[in-house]
Amino acid sequence: MKKVCVIGYPIKHSLSPEIHNYWLKENGIEGSYEKLEIHPDDFDERFKNLHSEGYVGCNITLPFKERAFELIAQMGGFDDSVESSAAIITGAVNTVSIINGKYIGKNTDYIGFLDNITTQHNADVINGKTIVLGAGGAARAIVMSLMIGHVPATTDNIPEIIITNRSKYKAEKIVDDLNKYKDTAFSDWNGTISVIDWRQIDKALEGANLLINTTSLGMAGQPPLDINLEHLPKDALVTDIVYRPLITPLLQAAQDRGNPIVDGLGMLLHQAAPGFEMWFADELNGRKVEVTKELRDKIEARL
């Protein structure tokens, strides 16, 4: 019986076991997916010994995504998949496969974001002007997803990504890092990426197609996101990667003024699928797992 886990500190809040155990049951697969809380001081040693404990893979969550990337880079553990390229470009690993003691690191956050948006809204929304709030690991993956998944642009609809963060240099670092891959991973990208000061957010919303909050502002227990949506077009999509609460103050404010919204729970669900399909490829025999309404309702009930 294959064992998989999600590693974090703390980890008790994680919904990943409910997602993966749903797919195990739905597909009649004998396997287990559990939570593994590891203190940061013990992470390196415990991570390197996962295979000896019988694990065939794991998910990595806060605060270990960057450290997992560093360890796997030392092991030479990346393949030629887009998901491994995403890990290298973002500098973060959230999904690991262990085969005969060899660790393969991937990042599926970009898939989670893109699939969540395109299954709930028109894919054209990622063309035009996008405002990204925040400059952490999630923001990197999301900007990458916008660059990889964009609909081929026309001269009338050139993709434009604007990143803003309270620490401006972190946003500038994302742009610098992504530009290094412009001729390889993003060779089809013909848009622009720029950075603005955090205080310019409200005015920058003019003409935007998409507003994305990747910060923790608005999350339960965190300060609110101070933003005025007055200049945002009424048809612009607003999404928040936070899913506790499911409808954040930002999403509520957008919905109240008539903007379409997409919550963050779908990103969590969709980013999980590639890992499951990788760990249990033999058992699935070519089948894909789906983010069904039943699964979403089950996870939403746990929030």
Candidate from 188-192, 215-219, 258-262, 282-286 with smallest mean pLDDT:
188-192
| Residue 115 covered by a domain | no
For a pLDDT cut of 70, what percent of the chain falls above it? 97
Predicted pLDDT of residue 156: 59
| Residue 116 covered by a domain | no
**Residues 254 and 128 placed together within one structural domain of the fold:** yes
Phi-psi region of 76 (alpha: psi -120 to 50; beta: other; left: phi over 0): left
Higher pLDDT, 195 or 62: 195
| Residue 114 covered by a domain | no
- State whether the Cα torsion 187-78-266-254 is positive or negative: negative
For a pLDDT cut of 90, what percent of the chain falls above it? 81
Predicted pLDDT of residue 29: 97
Per-residue pLDDT band for 241 (boundaries 50, 70, 90) equals very high
Amino acid letter, 81? S
Per-residue pLDDT band for 153 (boundaries 50, 70, 90) equals very low
Predicted pLDDT of residue 189: 83
| Residue 98 covered by a domain | yes
**Residues 126 and 255 placed together within one structural domain of the fold:** yes
Taking residues 24-30, report their average pLDDT.
97
**Residues 37 and 102 placed together within one structural domain of the fold:** yes
**Which residues belong to the active site?**
65
Candidate from 22-31, 37-46, 186-195, 202-211 with smallest mean pLDDT:
186-195
| Residue 68 covered by a domain | yes
**Residues 163 and 277 placed together within one structural domain of the fold:** no
Whether 270 has a pLDDT exceeding 90, the answer reads yes
Candidate from 68-77, 156-165, 269-278 with smallest mean pLDDT:
156-165
**Residues 18 and 95 placed together within one structural domain of the fold:** yes
Taking residues 24-42, report their average pLDDT.
97
**Residues 94 and 183 placed together within one structural domain of the fold:** no
**Residues 75 and 202 placed together within one structural domain of the fold:** no
**Residues 252 and 294 placed together within one structural domain of the fold:** no
Residues with Cβ < 8 Å from 60, sequence gap 6 or more?
A: 6, 7, 8, 68, 93, 94, 95, 96
Tell me whether residue 165 is exposed, middle or buried, using C-beta atoms within 10 angstroms of its C-beta: 0 to 12, 13 to 18, 19 or more: buried
**Residues 136 and 222 placed together within one structural domain of the fold:** yes
**Residues 146 and 250 placed together within one structural domain of the fold:** yes
- CATH of residue 161's domain is 3.40.50.720
> Is omega for the bond preceding 233 within 30 degrees of 0, making it cis?
no
| Residue 26 covered by a domain | yes
| Residue 145 covered by a domain | yes
Whether 152 has a pLDDT exceeding 70, the answer reads no
**Residues 142 and 242 placed together within one structural domain of the fold:** yes
Instruction: Give residue-wise pLDDT tens across range 96-151.
Output: 999 999 999 999 999 999 999 988 887 778 888 999 999 988 899 999 999 887 65
Q: Which range of residues forms the domain containing residue 144?
A: 122-259
Predicted pLDDT of residue 246: 95
Tell me the sheet residues that pair with 59.
6, 95
Predicted pLDDT of residue 2: 96
Instruction: Give residue-wise pLDDT tens across range 41-58.
Output: 999 999 999 999 999 999
- CATH of residue 22's domain is 3.40.50.10860
Candidate from 22-31, 59-68, 90-99, 151-160 with smallest mean pLDDT:
151-160
Distance CA 91, CA 103 (A): 16
| Residue 117 covered by a domain | no
For the chain, what is the mean pLDDT?
A: 93
pTM for the predicted model, two decimal places: 0.93
**Residues 272 and 247 placed together within one structural domain of the fold:** no
Our count of domains for the chain comes to 2
